[in-house]
Every structure is written in structure tokens, then in C-alpha cells.
Structure 1
Amino acid sequence: MTTPGTELTVTLSGGSADDAQKVVRALEPAFGAPDELPTDTNATVHTATFAAGGAGPSQGSAGHLSAPVTVTVQGTPEAVEKASDTLARAFSAQDQGVSSGDQERERQLLLTP
């Protein structure tokens, strides 16, 4: 469950902090800036939260990943669809499944280099 006022929470595992930053930056055109960029090079899981609002549609590629990254996006159904579509345009993405609650949705994607 996301915190009140939060539109999208992104959890990333696999890859490096640099890979996590590329994924988060790919979402910025659609959602605006996150609370903070993943920077801990020792972390095995990175998280970013995007508040309601944001800019227009995503443009172009965010760069190549060094390793596969598992991404879980959680938020409103509209935000999760928007994030999934944005990531699928920016990276090679494989849908790993979706679960829905009353007002939130969660989708897992595998992004590959």
C-alpha cells in the first residue's frame, strides 16, 4: 500500500545503483522527479516514490542496463499502467504479473539489457 498522496512507488532489485537510476529517470518525464534517486551502491533493493503530478509522456530511451532488473510498480491502476507502458518503451520489458486491490494495483516487470 502506498502512502497517502503518493501516486507511484517503484521497487527495483537486480542490477546496480546506476541501473536503478536509469529506470527511475525513464519514469521522470511521465511522473516528475521522485523523492530521491537510488544512490546506495551496496543496496540490493532500491525504492523511489513519485508524488501525484508529473510531466508529459516519456520520450526516448533511458540507456542500456548492465544486468536484468526486476521492477515492481505500485499505485493507482492508471499510474501503474502509465509506468508499465513507459518502461516497456524505454527498455526490453517482460510482464511478470499483476495484482489488484480495491484502489491500488501492483505490477512486476523484468527489464533486460
Structure 2
Amino acid sequence: MSNTGDAHHTLVSVTLSNCKAQDAERVLAHLASEFPDRAPTEQGSGPSAERPTVWTAELDVSAGKSDGASGPGSDGTIEGPVSVSAQGVPHEVTAVRESLARAYGVEDAGSASGDQELDSQFTLTPR
């Protein structure tokens, strides 16, 4: 029997928005140093006031800390706030939030719980 269906349950979808590209890259570098990333992507038409850019990543939280070296900018320094949405199994979403809280200030913006899923919104702030 294959466990490919089980792996899906450990993925956390993370979306970053309302921030500078440099700050989003730093947050993604931090997450990549903690959890294996399954293809980060940038969506949108580029940074502008009318059309904000959104960055997404799917993190394999069950795999634990990545063995790779931290990427550039993973020192936790961001210039301004970063809006974050994390969606997945509650325990894994909590692990992602706790990892980010070790590197950034975190202000909760709300959450919604489903049967077996949590959608959590928060804002990262510079320390």
C-alpha cells in the first residue's frame, strides 16, 4: 500500500502577501531552513500598489528540520510587516507558526478551524 495520500496531510500551504519582495524572500528562506519546501512560487503581476504580489510555498512539516543551510536573508530581518496565511492540519500549522515566531514578531489576525484543518492568519513584524 502506498503512503502518498498520507504525505498530503502533512503539507502546510503558506501564502505571503502585503509585503516587499525582499521581505517575502527572507521569510521563505527561513521556512526553507526549517522545513523542506515543495516548490515555492510567486503569483501575480509584480509589486505595485494596484496589484500586490503573492508568494506561496507548500512545506513538508512531517520531515522536520531541513538539513540544508539557511538561505540568504534567513537571519530574521525584515523591513516591514508580512501578511501570512497558513493552512493544513492544526499541529503542522502550529509548527510553522512557532518556527516563524522564533525569527519574527507575530500578531494573530484570526483563524478558522474545519473538521481536520486549520487556516491561520497572522502578521510577521520586524524585531
TM-score between the two structures when normalised by the length of structure 1: 0.78
Runs ≥4 in structure 1, deviation > 4 angstroms? 37-41
- Which runs of 5 or more structure 2 residues have no equivalent in the other structure? 1-6
Distance 2:23 2:37 in 1: 17
Q: 2:95 aligns with which of 75, 82, 90?
A: 82
Q: 2:119 aligns with which of 101, 106, 112?
A: 106
Cα distance in 2 for residues equivalent to 1:18 and 1:106: 25
Larger Rg over CA atoms = 2
Q: Read off the aligned partner of 1:11 and give its amino acid letter.
A: T
Partner of 2:8: 5
Q: Which residue of 1 aligns with 2:58?
A: 49
How many equivalent pairs are there?
108
Aligned counterparts of 1:25 and 1:79: Cα–Cα separation in 2:
18
* Distance 1:77-1:93 versus aligned 2 partners, 3 A rule: same
Contact 1:65 1:112 in 2 (8 A): yes
TM-score, normalising length: structure 2: 0.71
Kept in 2, the 8 Å contact 1:5–1:52? The answer is no
